[in-house]
């Protein structure tokens, strides 16, 4: 009995030694644009602080983003309307954390991980950090298994593996959100985590009800940070969605992470960087944008137990596929899918430009028969595209070129294969079977 009491006392003594009885608060000195400057408290980059208004309102959360002339620079995670000089600043001593668990399926969260439907978080959730480092590269298993997306053109011609990270590159209005909805509804993954970053408020319900639907919603966790939210909340929305995906991956599940869009995440990073005094570089983007992009994107992928297969949409300015963010993201990810405006204008959906798209792991997850059939399709598409103008004006005479003749014979079948109605279901096995059967004569 005495030994047990001794152990309890020693435990409490140890806690008392670790306890700091003094709390040093900081004071807001000025607010400039999006940035709050304070004198103190002691903190480090990434710590979340509480800003206390003068009139007894609820404290406002803000994150430490830098230091200048012995002053702390904070970015608010909410509205700054009640904050002014002299407000107390209290450091929580930890980065932003969220509560996660299986009960989040079917829920819509804001950019800080709080429910948007007005209902409380479900019971039984676990506290989880949002500042997790990427997995050690030597602990990442190789990608060896395919994952069905439910989109025939992707499954057959650009096969995706479990743990692969793919970019969807397109201009505005070409069908990115619709394609994400098709993947979310039809994928063979165990759970979807969907991040809508910088979306128009009007489009959120459209995506949830029209593109995702009740079936897709039941197996998804959705994180929403609309364009009117502060830049830091848009950044945190992307990070929180990735953290939720990591939690489910560590449980051994195959997770589908869908982020729309990584471009608006980069724009929010630029906004924060300019506000704290970073020099602008290419097209006004700050150096931290290109430093933080790989930190975010490398967190998805194959894990020791589960996997995060990720699709990131990239909104390209004026359909320029070589603009800075698109170029940086393409260099980080394991493949890219290009949506072509000309195909969309012809009513060809999904408007995937197969010739300009690539899956860097397809050779590792597809059979030799499928790879050969996909190669045949790409060759015929390339041949037809080169001769399309001659064919359209009637200048090409059949029999002049055997390759063009073959392309003309199969082009309608190719277009039928790559077209798919928004609510048409297709499995990986069906796509592969249809591909090999239709184009086996050319093998």
Find the mean pLDDT for residues 384-390.
89
pLDDT range class, residue 117, cuts 50, 70, 90:
confident
With a cut of 70, say whether residue 7 has pLDDT above it. no
Residue 353 contacts residue 338 (beta carbons within 8 Å): yes
| The pair of three-digit structure tokens given for residue 376, joined into one six-digit string | 């045949």
Going by pLDDT thresholds of 50, 70 and 90, the confidence category of residue 18 is low
**Torsion, Cα of 397, 398, 403, 404 (10° steps):** 60
| Angstrom distance (rounded) from CA 207 to CA 204 | 5
Comparing CA positions, the residue from 256, 302, 11 lying closest to residue 139 is 302
Question: Which of 335, 330, 396 has its CA nearest to residue 360?
Answer: 335
pLDDT confidence tier of residue 58, bands split at 50, 70 and 90: confident
Q: How confident is the model at residue 1, as a pLDDT? A: 46
End-to-end CA distance of the chain: 81
Question: In the predicted model, what is the mean pLDDT of the chain?
Answer: 89
319 pLDDT higher than 90: no
User: Can you tell me the mean pLDDT for 111-130?
Assistant: 89
List b or e across 179-214, with b for residues whose CB sees 16 or more CB atoms inside 10 angstroms.
bbbbbbbbbbbbbbbbbbbbbeeebbeebbeebbee
Residue 407, both tokens: 């392309």
Quick count: other Cβ atoms within 10 Å of Cβ 338? 24
Among the listed residues 226, 172, 229, the one whose alpha carbon sits nearest the alpha carbon of residue 199: 226
Q: What is the pTM of this model?
A: 0.88
Tell me the C-alpha distance between 82 and 32, whole Å: 14
Q: How far apart are CA 16 and CA 318, in angstroms?
A: 61
Cα–Cα distance between 324 and 282 in angstroms, integer?
Answer: 7
Number of other CB atoms surrounding residue 106 within 10 Å: 12
Residues in the chain: 443
| Burial class for 23, CB neighbours closer than 10 Å (0-12, 13-18, 19+) | exposed
Q: Which domains does the chain have, with CATH numbers?
A: 21-95 (2.40.10.170), 98-362 (3.40.50.12240), 370-440 (1.20.1270.330)
241 has a pLDDT exceeding 70: yes
Whether cis (ω within 30° of 0) applies to the bond prior to 103 is no
Residue 287 banded pLDDT, cuts 50, 70, 90? very high
Output 172 or 99, whichever has higher pLDDT. 99
Tell me the C-alpha distance between 96 and 76, whole Å: 12
Q: Look at residue 17 in the predicted model and tell me its pLDDT.
A: 67
User: For 388-399, what is the mean pLDDT?
Assistant: 86
- Output the six-digit token pair for 11: 């435990």
Q: How far is Cα of residue 342 from the mean position of the Cα atoms in its chain? A: 26
pLDDT in tens, 334-352: 999 999 999 999 889 999 9
Burial class (CB in 10 A: 0-12, 13-18, 19+), 57: exposed
User: What's the average model confidence in pLDDT over 377-397?
Assistant: 89
Tens-digit pLDDT profile for residues 172-226: 888 888 899 999 999 999 999 999 999 888 889 988 988 888 888 999 999 999 9
Residue 28 pLDDT more than 90?
A: yes
Contact 339, 179 (CB under 8 A): yes
Alpha helices per DSSP H over 221-367: 231-250, 262-275, 287-297, 324-332, 341-345, 362-365
Residue 23 confidence (pLDDT) above 80: no
pLDDT for 106 = 92
Average confidence (pLDDT) over 39-59: 88
Task: Please say if the pLDDT value at position 84 is more than 50.
Answer: yes
pLDDT for 102 beyond 50:
yes
At residue 380, φ and ψ (nearest 5 deg) are -70, -40
Q: How far apart are CA 363 and CA 372, in angstroms?
A: 10
Q: Print burial letters for 66-91: b (CB count within 10 Å at least 16), e (below 16).
A: beeeebbbbbbbbebebbeeebbbeb
């Amino acid at each position: 009995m005495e030994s047990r009491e001794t152990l309890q006392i020693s435990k409490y003594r140890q806690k008392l030694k670790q306890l700091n009885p003094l709390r040093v608060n900081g004071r807001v000195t000025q607010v400039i644009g999006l940035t709050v400057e304070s004198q103190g408290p002691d903190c480090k980059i990434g710590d979340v602080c509480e800003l206390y208004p003068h009139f007894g309102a609820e404290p406002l959360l803000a994150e430490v983003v830098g230091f200048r002339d012995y002053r702390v620079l904070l970015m608010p995670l909410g509205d700054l309307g009640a904050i002014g000089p002299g407000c107390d600043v209290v450091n929580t001593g930890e980065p932003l954390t969220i509560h996660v668990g299986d009960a989040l399926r079917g829920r819509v969260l804001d950019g800080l991980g709080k429910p948007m439907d007005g209902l409380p978080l479900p019971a039984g959730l676990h506290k989880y950090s949002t500042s997790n480092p990427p997995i050690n590269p030597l602990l990442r298993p190789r990608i060896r298994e395919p994952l069905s997306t439910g989109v025939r053109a992707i499954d057959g011609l650009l096969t995706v593996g479990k743990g692969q990270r793919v970019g969807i590159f397109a201009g505005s209005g070409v069908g990115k959100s619709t394609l994400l909805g098709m993947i979310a509804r039809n994928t063979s993954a165990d759970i979807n985590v969907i991040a809508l970053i910088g979306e128009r408020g009007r489009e959120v319900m459209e995506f949830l009800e029209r593109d995702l639907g009740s079936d897709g919603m039941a197996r998804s966790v959705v994180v929403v940070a609309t364009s009117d939210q502060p830049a830091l909340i848009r950044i945190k929305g992307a990070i929180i969605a990735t953290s939720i995906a990591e939690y489910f991956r560590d449980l051994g599940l195959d997770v589908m992470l869908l982020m729309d869009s990584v471009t608006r995440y980069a724009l929010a990073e630029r906004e924060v960087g300019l506000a704290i005094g970073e020099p602008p570089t290419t097209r006004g983007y700050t150096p931290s944008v290109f430093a933080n992009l790989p930190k975010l994107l490398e967190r998805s992928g194959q894990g020791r137990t589960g996997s995060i297969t990720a699709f990131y949409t990239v909104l390209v300015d004026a359909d320029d596929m070589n603009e800075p963010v698109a170029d940086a993201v393409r260099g980080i990810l394991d493949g890219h899918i290009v949506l072509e405006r000309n195909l969309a204008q012809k009513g060809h959906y999904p408007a995937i430009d197969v010739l300009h798209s690539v899956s860097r792991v397809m050779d590792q997850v597809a059979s030799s028969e499928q790879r050969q059939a996909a190669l045949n399709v790409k060759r015929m598409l390339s041949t037809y595209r080169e001769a399309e103008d001659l064919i359209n004006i009637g200048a090409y005479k059949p029999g002049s070129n055997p390759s063009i003749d073959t392309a003309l014979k199969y082009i309608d079948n190719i277009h039928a294969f790559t077209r798919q109605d928004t609510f048409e279901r297709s499995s990986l096995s069906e796509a592969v079977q249809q591909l090999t059967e239709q184009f086996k004569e050319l093998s």
